[in-house]
Amino acid sequence: MKIGILGGGQLARMLALAGYPLGLGFVVLEPAADACAAPLAGHIQAAYDDPDALQQLAAKVELVTYEFESVPAAAVEQLGASLPVYPPANSLAMARDRSHEKNLFRELGIETAPFFEVHDLQTLRLAVEQIGFPAVLKTRTLGYDGKGQQVLRAGDDLQVAWETIGQAPAILEGLIGFEREVSLIAVRSVSGELAFYPLAENHHENGILRLSTCLHDDPMQARAENYAQRLLENLNHVGVLAIEFFQIGSHLLANEMAPRVHNSGHWTIEGAETSQFENHLRAILGLPLGGTAAVKHVAMINLIGELPDASAILGLKNTHLHLYGKAPRIERKIGHITVRETSEQALQERLLQLKNLI
Ligand code: AMP
C-alpha cells in the first residue's frame, strides 16, 4: 500500500518512518529538491498545485495525506476526485483560516480569547474599541511560529501593525495573560474510533516551540478531550487533529488547531504506547488505533538552528536524538531530543543537563 503526502519535510519523514513497520510505502509531493523526507520516499518535485504532478501522485498512491495546512484547496479537490484524501477538505478549510477556525470553536461552545475580524484600518479600530489593549493582530491565513502577528499596546500601534502584516485579512484577539500553553493530540479513524494523548505543556522561544512536556493526570485533560471530540465529530475528521490551548485560571481557551501530526506530539515516538505518526496512519487506513498512554515521564526539546554534539546528548541516559537531515539555518527546526525518565524530578534534572548542551 502506497500513501501520498503533500509536503516533504520532517513530519512527512516521521510519518514514513512510522509507516515502514506496517508495510507501507510513501510518495511525497514537494517542490524543494533537498526535501528531508525524500530519502525515505518517492519524490515528485513540483509545486503543490501543479495539476500534472498531482495526477502523477494520484496514479502512484492509494490514499493521500498532508503535513501542513496551507495545502491549496484546488490540490485537495483534484486528488479527492480519484482517491481518499485525509484529513478531509473541511478540516483543512477550517484550520487554514483563523477566522473560520475561531468561529467554529465558538459555535461548538469551546472557549477562545475575544476576537473580531479585521478587513481594514477602520474595522481594526472598531475591534480595538471592543477588545482594548493589549491585543494581537494575526493574519487569517499563512501565519505560523508567530509569523504574521503583531501585538498592539497603544493607539499609535494600529497603522504600523496593519502595514506590517501586509494589510491582509486578519483577526484581532485579546492578548491573554495565560498561565500555561498546553496542546492535545487527538485522533479519529475512518471508522469513528477516537483516541487522545495526555496533554503536553509547551514553551516557546522567539515564537518557536522549544519544549513540550507530557502531563500526567492533568486537571484540564477531560475538558480538552471533550472539546476535541466536539471538533472531530463536527468535522467528521479522520487522522490526527492537534489543538493548542491557553490556560488561565479555570479557563481553557482554544487558540488554534492543526489537522495533521504536530510538533508538540513528537514526544509520543518514544514516550507513548503508539506514536502520533503511527496512529495518524492507522486512522487514515481504517485500522484500529493504538494505545496513547505515556510510558514514562517524557519531554521533547526542539533543536533549532544549530546541530548539537550528538555524542554528548546521547551520553546522557534515557535520551533519544532525532536529526532530520536538514542543513542548519537560523530559526530552522533541524531535529529534536526526547527524554524519558521514571520520575518527574529525574526528568527535570535531565532537562537541566540538556539545556547546557544545546
Ligand atoms: P499562534 O500562531 O496563534 O499559535 O501564536 C503563536 C504564539 O503566540 C502562541 O503560542 C502564544 O505563545 C502567543 N499568542 C498567540 N495568540 C495569543 C493571545 N491571544 N494571547 C497571548 N498569547 C498569544
With the CA atoms of 188, 189, 191 and 195 taken in that order, what torsion angle do they form, in degrees rounded to the nearest 10?
-50
pLDDT above 70 for 105: yes
Contact 309, 49 (CB under 8 A): no
- pLDDT one-digit tens code per residue, 186-231: 999 999 999 999 999 999 998 899 999 999 999 999 999 999 999 9
Tell how far the Cα of 301 is from the centroid of ligand 1, in angstroms: 19
Closest ligand 1 atom, residue 173 Cα: 19
- pLDDT one-digit tens code per residue, 156-179: 899 999 999 999 999 999 999 999
Q: Would you state the pLDDT for residue 142? A: 84
Contact 149, 162 (CB under 8 A): no
Q: How far apart are CA 358 and CA 353, in angstroms?
A: 10
E strand or H helix at 138: strand 135-139
Tell how far the Cα of 55 is from the centroid of ligand 1, in angstroms: 38
Q: Would you state the pLDDT for residue 146? A: 66
Query: What is residue 269's three-state secondary structure?
Result: helix
Q: How far apart are CA 211 and CA 330, in angstroms?
A: 18
Q: How confident is the model over 124-128, as a mean pLDDT?
A: 97
pLDDT above 90 for 143: no
Q: 123 is written with which cell numbers?
A: 474595522
Confidence of residue 344 (pLDDT cuts 50, 70, 90): very high
Q: How far apart are CA 255 and CA 324, in angstroms?
A: 28
Residues with CB under 6 A from ligand 1: 113, 136, 143, 146, 173, 175-176, 181, 204, 207, 244, 255-256
Q: How confident is the model over 253-264, as a mean pLDDT?
A: 98
- pLDDT one-digit tens code per residue, 284-341: 999 999 999 999 999 999 999 999 999 999 999 999 999 999 999 999 999 999 999 9
Q: What is the 3-state secondary structure (H, E, C) of 175-223?
A: CCCCCEEEEEEEEECCCCCEEECCCEEEEEECCEEEEEEECCCCCCHHH
Q: Would you state the pLDDT for residue 156? A: 87
Q: 41: closest CA among 61, 55, 71?
A: 61
- pLDDT one-digit tens code per residue, 43-95: 999 999 999 999 999 999 999 999 999 899 899 999 999 999 999 999 999 99
Percent of the chain at pLDDT > 90 equals 95
Q: 336: closest CA among 303, 305, 314, 313?
A: 303
CATH of domain 2-85: 3.40.50.20
Q: Would you state the pLDDT for residue 10? A: 98
Which backbone phi and psi does 187 adopt, to 5 degrees? -135, 140
CATH of domain 180-355: 3.30.470.20
Which residues make up the CATH 3.40.50.20 domain(s) of the chain? Answer: 2-85
Percent of the chain at pLDDT > 70 equals 99
Q: 33 is written with which cell numbers?
A: 529538491
Q: Could you give the angle at which helices 10-19 and 276-285 cross, rounded to 10 degrees?
A: 70
Q: How far apart are CA 113 and CA 32, in angstroms?
A: 37
Q: How far apart are CA 311 and CA 320, in angstroms?
A: 11
Closest ligand 1 atom, residue 209 Cα: 10
pLDDT above 70 for 135: yes
Helix locations, 61-184, DSSP H: 73-80, 89-95, 98-107, 121-131, 157-164
Q: Would you state the pLDDT for residue 316? A: 94
**Homologous superfamily, domain 114-174:** ATP-grasp fold, A domain (3.30.1490.20)
Give ∠ CA 310-314-315 in degrees, rounded to 5.
115
Closest C-alpha residue for ligand 1 atom 17: 175
Q: For all residues of the chain together, what is the average pLDDT?
A: 96
Contact 154, 211 (CB under 8 A): no
Q: Looking at this protein, which amino acid is placed at residue 182? A: V
Residue of 96, 180, 183, 255 to test ligand 1 pocket, by largest number of atoms within 8 Å of CB: 255
Q: 292: closest CA among 190, 221, 212, 186?
A: 186
pLDDT above 90 for 155: no
Asked if the peptide bond before residue 21 counts as cis, ω within 30 degrees of 0, the response is: no
User: 255: which residues sit within 8 A by CB, 6+ positions away?
Assistant: 112, 113, 181, 244, 245, 246
Which residues make up the CATH 3.30.470.20 domain(s) of the chain? Answer: 180-355
Tell how far the Cα of 287 is from the centroid of ligand 1, in angstroms: 35
Which residues make up the CATH 3.30.1490.20 domain(s) of the chain? Answer: 114-174
